[in-house]
Structure 1
């Protein structure tokens, strides 16, 4: 049965009201208590919008009870949640708030002074909510309504709004909740910021099954193995770079996470080496590699590593396969001419596909019509019909009956699990005084993880000042590790920037 996000949570409130739903910041809240907080926050949101129900509500809070109760409050009144991250630069949050067309921003009063949002701001504290409760409201469009809008990196320098419908999230949850056996007594990790779509799994797969969501502190995120062991987690979900961090710190001792039953990774390629190290530390855990762009609702393919290490796959790039799509998701691998191929661009459609970007102009070139023989570009106007295929921009290949991710076809990369358009970082550099040209590359660091390196041309440029300037407008994961000032950029025979030659220059 299709359900809204609120209905997924409300079902567990009815069945498991006295079970612990959330542990965050030293506080524990049962399902009934968290539902009560959400109901009172919902009343405050409605009170801030007299005479009308808000359609889109910004949420300026993170990693505490207010953030999670606030997210549930937005869902309770049938509005669309637009998370904002207090850890990001003010300019980024203001750009997202402006592009989202928010009716109101629910903000943590403890984070004052608050940014000058273009929408009314409701600053609240949990100890001063009042006793009024709001009854649940159905979204105006039911399960076809928007559950949330997330903003990802855009190549033009402007974040792209990705709206997702309740119907899509419900289909996703209907698959993952039973697959991972989530239920009372299970304890799940919450490693992702709410601006990252994988956080929706953390919250609603957990709450949809009646399990307990355990939120690590920023300090705990630096020591994931100790966190898992201390909190006796049964389910872990993170980006693979967490494994690299634990390896660097020499924390992945064999058998160090005995409580884990499931280990899930998504957001960037998972290497076989990372998987092997994590499996040794959590020998009782089933390990799955997931894949999915934000546009396909959190994740949409899965690959389970065999229990027998001798049966693990061998892939051309040393990564774990991304497997096969979920039920209700169709896939096609197309070559440069739009024809089916053993290796090419992965295109997807189905119930989990988003309806098109918040700004319809961004749809241009992202959708195709495919008759089974050849794909042709689709017109990018309004809501994109469900029968169109979304072009992921990811290059994949068939290997032994499953899909292997081979990299990006464009300039989009993953840094610590975050999707980054190199063009957006280049645009931020070009906006700095004196910069004429800017090129950003994602290059492997000493530990194999991707790092951003930049090269600029111009007059009177200070590399340190350029890095600081970008940090003022972009999130930390989008800030180049260093900027090299060059007299000119290397060009290839076609007069385009020779990125391979530039990479050699930046690494010498």
Structure 2
């Protein structure tokens, strides 16, 4: 129905007697002028009578109800001039009532479901009543209506009045209405403010656009009676119990503390415990509550009951809707449908049992609990944002939870089953079978390739090439020298800090052949951090280059210069006469160090057998083999480099190793020159590659950070196979694979676990599994799990766990109940899809991925606090207008009393500003000595106090919102080079000044590579080293490009840049709670 189809008011007046004329609400005006067709809701009732129901008598009863209810006689018409739309109530109207009689004795309910909806006639009331009958079947009464006029109060009255009119027992007095309080009082506003956004199913992958309905009929026939009895005894409504269970499920599925949903209540003032069960569609309100596992379920229900009483008695749903946008805060609603028996002493009472309700999609998920008097149905009606498998999981989980609380009325919330029986069956199906296990050593598996294919190329590097036979001989020669000359102890850790080269590969294999363990570091890791790692690993030696050897003298490491001269000074006979140590599969092969929350790096120790078990499955999974020419481009501090090197060699591939200069300035060109056909890149690196120059790559594996739709779309047409790889360092490089990817692939899907079993557990308690589709912490079970963190038994025990409680369940332990099962808690939040694949939702702790590097925010915080001596938080976020690849680190500095809230919110006190700028300048220099460059914050923001959530925890979402609002200051600049910066750093040219520092502006090594590539294409003499190391300031880069003196006409920035930030919702500081408004920001 469109506005143009509405009749004019004068025509209505000429043809009908008018009872009243009212203006339309804004919602009605918007719906009727939107150009979209008016959608219908439907409610289906089963009609029963102790005798035979008369169709004619029911038709006349319906006419009686229409005459009583003014809203059933209301139409829309155009006012004077045909512009304004009005509601017009007719004094008399012949009800639209149709009767369809089926001849067959089939399931009448199925037939009605396929009946098309009627078309509303312009100028007629917005409802149609339909009756369906068949021989030997109960009568079905369907009401089709639109809620622009027919609201919940009207529907309640219909369910009461139709049985009464049929029996003609009463004069149908008007239904009482409650007095509503205009506006929304503070308690309701506070409740709305504290609610967390609760959107079920919005990120669960590809969704169906068609409506999905899943109905679960409880097996216990008396369950409905039990529910009503418990509600009556405790003084609350069935709706309240439904609300409580739904909030618990939302908390479980979405990993929330205070979820919320919409619910429907009656407005007739009926109190809880009343025998009137006619309330089935109600005015909508928001309900929310903290869901704490140690709280008793009945207490949560009572709390929600109090909310319901206050909502129904005082508040107008229209007022609530106008005050708070419910669709932004939640996308689900719950309601209760009860049986109705008309009051009075009729011998043959007509009973209307609601059996189905279908809306037009106002909410993405509507849960209805229907009690027909004979059975209890749980029906979940969803739109296109919830898949069928998820609807099934949610509904069965709700049903099982309901049965549990009705049988255990005084249970705690944490006692309610964590997942349904059908979900457990699915988990067993996905995680059944034996795990792959390979009791071998890495160098032995590489040696097997030398035996099978001795002349095949193993390494093709910028500084030399080796066949597999040559690699085997050379590494044995180096290993013998390390073992005999240095007296390396069995399992001793040896630091490797080398540039990308043939010698880095030789060093790794030689060290493990000598029975020791290598610790590989990027050559740019600061010396102080090398010292921390060496101390943690109890390392005595570092294998490095002649240029860097002297720098280690001050930290007590003995340098070993590994180059051709090292080999030439050792004869081949030494290796031939050398007896290699007895290296076993249980020995450590390498230790990979990552950022640690205490400020100290943590080293994950990987055994030979763990890596070999990983290699057994992942080589074939990634289509890696003897025909693969793999580019080795990843930093040696990053465990993906070991996937390139070790997995590549175990699979018989050829490693192609460009120089560091080529990797930074011409990665695509280097790949082409080396005829690379296989690559492992982070999405950030892949996004800055010149696609034409990298056209030789036929198989690409993306990993290390989140995928995006744009990166998938860019590479799918360019390669034969595009994969996504996921995996923490603690479980070898990769634990799940997704692909080959297509243009329709969901970038959040990290794929299926391969070579391990994936379990999704409660992020708070790993002894509780979560349902299929729920967000939880990913726990991996595999023989590829590392031994633990060296020198840190406490941290190892926290994340490397054995036999969680659910391992003893018969369904999961039938093969060997006594078996010790070892698992790793990743700290990653995921949800399991219906096909067993995993969707990634982020970190549960303070660990983030920044351009492929895993960073523990607590590590940076610890060092910063020691330098500044104030409370602070480091957070990662995306500035306005950026994407995942533009994520930056921001340090929020809490100055407390040092930064009073000013009356003029546009500036910081000049003295505080100057002092803070000096302190930050000194701090940055000292921090750069302790942390890797990629761990340095790019921006520092002073706050009066740090925002917290309603539960008192740090509100990191609020901090991320602040980052998203950052605006740099506007200055003049040299356009020639600044344009390159602006395109890569995603800032306006006008926002840069000549004294800007590339790194402080958020540029990292990947961004510098992109600028260098763009400069080369533009004909500018600007290299990666110029941008990132030698001349990071813009004016210096202008000087290099123009081969002349730096431009100095623009004013150099002497003071910190200032930007404004929006207020966080709440913060704690200085005793009582205040509002934080537009505090200024210092950007370092």
List 4+ stretches of structure 1 deviating above 6 A. Answer: none
SS in 2 for 1:436: coil
* 2:218 aligned partner: none
35-44 or 339-348, which deviates more: 35-44
User: Aligned partners of 1:145, 1:386: CA distance in 2, in Å?
Assistant: 20
CA contact (8 A) 2:683 2:705 kept: yes
The alpha carbon displacement at 1:208 in A equals: 1.5
1:403 maps onto 2:833 in alignment? no
Deviations 1:112-165 (CA, angstroms, capped at 9, x unpaired) = 32323444433343223323343463554x111111111111111111110011
The alpha carbon displacement at 1:286 in A equals: 0.7
CA contact (8 A) 2:534 2:540 kept: no
1:273 maps onto 2:706 in alignment? no
2:523 to 86, 101, 105: 86
The alpha carbon displacement at 1:63 in A equals: 0.9
* 1:448 aligned partner: 884
The alpha carbon displacement at 1:494 in A equals: 4.9
SS in 2 for 1:143: coil
2:682 to 218, 221, 239: 239
1:339 maps onto 2:769 in alignment? yes
* 1:437 aligned partner: 871
Q: Could you state the TM-score of these two structures normalised by the residue count of structure 1?
A: 0.87
2:469 to 32, 43, 47: 32
User: Aligned partners of 1:424, 1:403: CA distance in 2, in Å?
Assistant: 29
Which structure dedicates a bigger proportion of its chain to helix?
Answer: 2
The 5 Å alignment of 1:490-501 reads: 490-501=947-958
394-403 or 419-428, which deviates more: 394-403
User: Aligned partners of 1:489, 1:151: CA distance in 2, in Å?
Assistant: 31
Q: Would you say how many aligned residue pairs link Structure 1 and Structure 2?
A: 481
Gaps of at least 5 residues in structure 1 are: 376-384
User: Aligned partners of 1:448, 1:260: CA distance in 2, in Å?
Assistant: 24
79-88 or 463-472, which deviates more: 463-472
User: Aligned partners of 1:351, 1:478: CA distance in 2, in Å?
Assistant: 32
CA contact (8 A) 1:97 1:118 kept: no
User: Aligned partners of 1:58, 1:14: CA distance in 2, in Å?
Assistant: 29
User: Aligned partners of 1:131, 1:407: CA distance in 2, in Å?
Assistant: 51
The alpha carbon displacement at 1:31 in A equals: 2.3
2:565 to 127, 132, 140: 127
The alpha carbon displacement at 1:493 in A equals: 4.6
1:330 to 746, 757, 778: 757
130-139 or 59-68, which deviates more: 130-139
1:188 to 627, 630, 640: 630
* 2:501 aligned partner: 64
* 1:44 aligned partner: 481
CA contact (8 A) 1:333 1:396 kept: yes
The alpha carbon displacement at 1:52 in A equals: 5.2
SS in 1 for 2:864: helix
User: Aligned partners of 1:389, 1:6: CA distance in 2, in Å?
Assistant: 26
1:353 to 769, 785, 810: 785
CA contact (8 A) 1:467 1:483 kept: no
Q: Could you state the TM-score of these two structures normalised by the residue count of structure 2?
A: 0.42
* 2:670 aligned partner: 227
204-213 or 224-233, which deviates more: 224-233
CA contact (8 A) 2:726 2:737 kept: yes
User: Aligned partners of 2:694, 2:561: CA distance in 1, in Å?
Assistant: 40
User: Aligned partners of 1:119, 1:227: CA distance in 2, in Å?
Assistant: 34
CA contact (8 A) 2:501 2:658 kept: no
CA contact (8 A) 1:46 1:53 kept: no
The alpha carbon displacement at 1:396 in A equals: 0.6
* 2:851 aligned partner: 416
The alpha carbon displacement at 1:54 in A equals: 6.0
SS in 2 for 1:236: strand
User: Aligned partners of 1:351, 1:50: CA distance in 2, in Å?
Assistant: 31
2:660 to 207, 211, 218: 218
Gaps of at least 5 residues in structure 2 are: 1-437, 810-818, 899-914, 967-1060, 1062-1084
CA contact (8 A) 2:495 2:543 kept: yes
Deviations 1:400-439 (CA, angstroms, capped at 9, x unpaired) = 411111111111000111110100011121121x431221
* 1:363 aligned partner: 796
CA contact (8 A) 2:860 2:874 kept: yes
User: Aligned partners of 2:530, 2:657: CA distance in 1, in Å?
Assistant: 23
User: Aligned partners of 2:510, 2:488: CA distance in 1, in Å?
Assistant: 18
* 1:16 aligned partner: 453
CA contact (8 A) 2:928 2:936 kept: yes
The alpha carbon displacement at 1:362 in A equals: 1.2
Distance 1:258 1:371, change over 3 A: same
* 2:727 aligned partner: 292
User: Aligned partners of 1:485, 1:170: CA distance in 2, in Å?
Assistant: 49
SS in 2 for 1:372: helix
Distance 1:108 1:139, change over 3 A: farther
1:394 maps onto 2:828 in alignment? yes
User: Aligned partners of 1:48, 1:456: CA distance in 2, in Å?
Assistant: 52
Give the superposed CA RMSD.
Answer: 2.6
Greater C-alpha Rg: 2
The 5 Å alignment of 1:90-129 reads: 90-115=527-552, 116-129=554-567
* 2:204 aligned partner: none
User: Aligned partners of 2:771, 2:488: CA distance in 1, in Å?
Assistant: 55
SS in 2 for 1:194: coil
1:158 to 600, 609, 622: 600
Deviations 1:287-325 (CA, angstroms, capped at 9, x unpaired) = 111111111111111111355x3xx244xxxx2411111
